[in-house]
């Protein structure tokens, strides 16, 4: 059979398979062969959503009328819950009628926003290191990804002096992600103010991807809290990490009405709404008590202490004040590369830690360790690494 008669579209030629897809397949083969690999690479929460969230899903799913198509804009209960959540924790006012758009996970929003605002040939500023999807989606939209450096010397913040010297004529959109993944750099009002001023000056849409803000602090920040931010900024948020609901696929966009309307034109042609019981349960999750969030932070804090011991045992340097559900660490000077360093740990210790090169050239001397593993698993990983 001739399989070359029909060729894929050019837009996918520059997009490779997601690194974790191939690496997880390799780890599955190792486990099938009895090697029992501990995976400290993926940020897949192992904790459960709150009890009221699960009860809300079960109750809503038992109602016969809740199984039909739903609105592209989400049910009012969910939009109102997102609005109340942003007001309570971020001190940001978002009109639930027209400034909030629920999503099937915030990763979906990266594509929707890009399709809504990018024309072929437009340029997009993407961070290095950064989430690989930003660059991949730009390619799928036939836009040009222009990397901007995040360096340890500047605390993993953009170098605005360098950005100002770049040719920004064709730049339409800039991706930012604070609290940052993979570096764990915390958000700050000063940084958000600089980003908003930069966006306004150059007429560049600033999009902050903000799924980690609830994990390590009781004072989360939103870029939309900056005066005038809605004129030039959009924020993505998600329940995946903050509420242990990764598989539920619930996220949101917060933005001015005209931005939401543009994105909705894309979204309404790509899905048929979110399952209503999931929306109702998500609304319950957004009403979790402050004690529930505090418990989550305590769990991650305790896990981080073990992770720090693992990285110390590997002679890696790291920032103890980093945030989020990962720890970003610099590999020893004598190590050839993060890829080789990670592979050596995998093959000899049967522990997988993500090599930083997958996040960009500025991650080539770093590794990222996930806290989405319980203390027993992290302790076993530590013991394996310490074992001669």
Task: Report d(CA 100, CA 103) in Å as an integer.
Answer: 10
SS3 of residue 339 by DSSP: helix
CB neighbour class for 382 (10 Å; exposed up to 12, middle 13-18, buried from 19)? buried
Q: Are 41 and 20 in contact (CB under 8 A)?
A: yes
Lowest mean per-residue pLDDT among 64-68, 213-217, 273-277, 329-333 = 213-217
CATH: 1.10.10.10, 3.20.20.70, 3.40.640.10, 3.40.50.11740. Which one for 66-285?
3.40.640.10
- Residue 3's pLDDT is what? 59
15 pLDDT tier (thresholds 50, 70, 90): low
Contacts of 267 (CB under 8 A, 6+ apart): 72, 101, 103, 108, 112
Buried b / exposed e along 28-61 (16+ C-beta atoms within 10 A): eeeeeeeeebbbbbbbbbeeebbeebeebbeebe
User: Is 181 a residue whose pLDDT tops 80?
Assistant: yes
Look at residues 245, 254, 224 and name the one whose alpha carbon lies nearest to residue 52: 245
User: Is 18 a residue whose pLDDT tops 80?
Assistant: no
Neighbouring C-alpha atoms within 13 Å toward the C-beta of 154: 13
Task: Report d(CA 175, CA 223) in Å as an integer.
Answer: 12
Write the pLDDT tens digit of every residue in 75-91: 999 999 999 999 999 99
User: Is 20 a residue whose pLDDT tops 90?
Assistant: no
User: Is 291 a residue whose pLDDT tops 70?
Assistant: yes
Task: Report d(CA 12, CA 285) in Å as an integer.
Answer: 37
User: Is 42 a residue whose pLDDT tops 90?
Assistant: no
User: Is 2 a residue whose pLDDT tops 60?
Assistant: no
Average pLDDT, whole number, for the chain?
A: 94
Query: Sign of torsion, CA 378 248 14 27?
Result: positive
Query: Residue 42, Cα to own-chain centre: how many angstroms?
Result: 12
User: Where in the chain are the domains?
Assistant: 10-48+291-386, 66-285
Radius of gyration for the chain, computed over Cα atoms and rounded to the nearest angstrom: 21
How many angstroms separate the Cα of 129 from the Cα of each of 175, 177, 340, 362, 375? Answer: 12, 11, 18, 6, 28
- Protein fold of 10-48+291-386: 3.90.1150
- Residue 149's pLDDT is what? 97
Helices (H) and strands (E) in the chain, counts: 12, 13
- Residue 17's pLDDT is what? 60
- Residue 23's pLDDT is what? 81
User: Is 196 a residue whose pLDDT tops 80?
Assistant: yes
Contacts of 196 (CB under 8 A, 6+ apart): 206, 223, 226, 228, 229, 232, 233
Task: Report d(CA 100, CA 87) in Å as an integer.
Answer: 13
**pTM (predicted TM-score):** 0.93
User: Is 212 a residue whose pLDDT tops 60?
Assistant: yes
- Residue 10's pLDDT is what? 80
């Amino acid at each position: 059979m001739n399989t070359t008669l029909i060729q894929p579209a050019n837009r996918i030629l520059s997009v490779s398979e997601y690194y974790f897809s191939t690496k997880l397949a390799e780890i599955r083969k190792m486990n099938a062969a009895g090697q029992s690999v501990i995976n400290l690479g993926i940020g897949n929460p192992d904790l459960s959503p709150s009890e009221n969230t699960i009860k809300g899903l079960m109750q809503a799913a038992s109602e016969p009328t809740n199984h039909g198509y739903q609105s592209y804009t989400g049910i009012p209960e969910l939009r109102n819950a997102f609005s109340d959540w942003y007001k309570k924790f971020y001190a940001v006012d978002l009109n639930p009628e027209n400034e909030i758009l629920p999503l099937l996970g915030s990763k979906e929003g990266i594509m929707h926003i890009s399709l809504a605002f990018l024309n072929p040939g437009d340029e997009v500023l993407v961070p290095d290191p950064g989430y690989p999807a930003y660059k991949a989606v730009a390619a799928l939209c036939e836009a040009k990804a222009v990397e901007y450096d995040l360096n340890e010397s500047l605390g993993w913040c953009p170098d605005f002096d360098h950005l100002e010297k770049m040719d920004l004529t064709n730049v339409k959109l800039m991706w930012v992600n604070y609290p940052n993944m993979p570096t764990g750099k915390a958000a700050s009002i000063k940084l958000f103010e600089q980003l908003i001023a930069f966006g306004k000056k150059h007429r560049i849409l600033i999009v902050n991807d903000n799924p980690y803000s609830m994990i390590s602090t009781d004072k989360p920040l939103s870029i939309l809290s900056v005066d005038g931010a809605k004129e030039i900024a959009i924020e993505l948020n998600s329940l995946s990490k903050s509420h242990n609901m990764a598989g539920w696929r619930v996220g949101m966009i917060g933005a001015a009405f005209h931005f939401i309307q543009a994105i909705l034109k894309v979204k309404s042609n790509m899905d048929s709404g979110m399952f209503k019981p999931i929306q109702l349960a998500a609304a319950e999750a957004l009403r979790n008590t402050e004690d529930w969030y505090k418990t989550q932070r305590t769990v991650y804090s305790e896990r981080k202490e073990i992770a720090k011991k693992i990285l110390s045992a590997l002679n890696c340097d790291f920032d103890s004040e980093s945030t989020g559900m990962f720890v970003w660490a610099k590999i020893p000077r004598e190590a050839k590369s993060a890829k080789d360093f990670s592979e050596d740990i995998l093959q000899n210790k049967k522990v997988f830690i993500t090599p930083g090169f997958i996040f960009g050239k500025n991650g080539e001397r770093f590794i990222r360790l996930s806290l989405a593993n319980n203390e027993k698993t992290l302790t076993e990983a530590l013991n394996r690494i310490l074992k001669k």
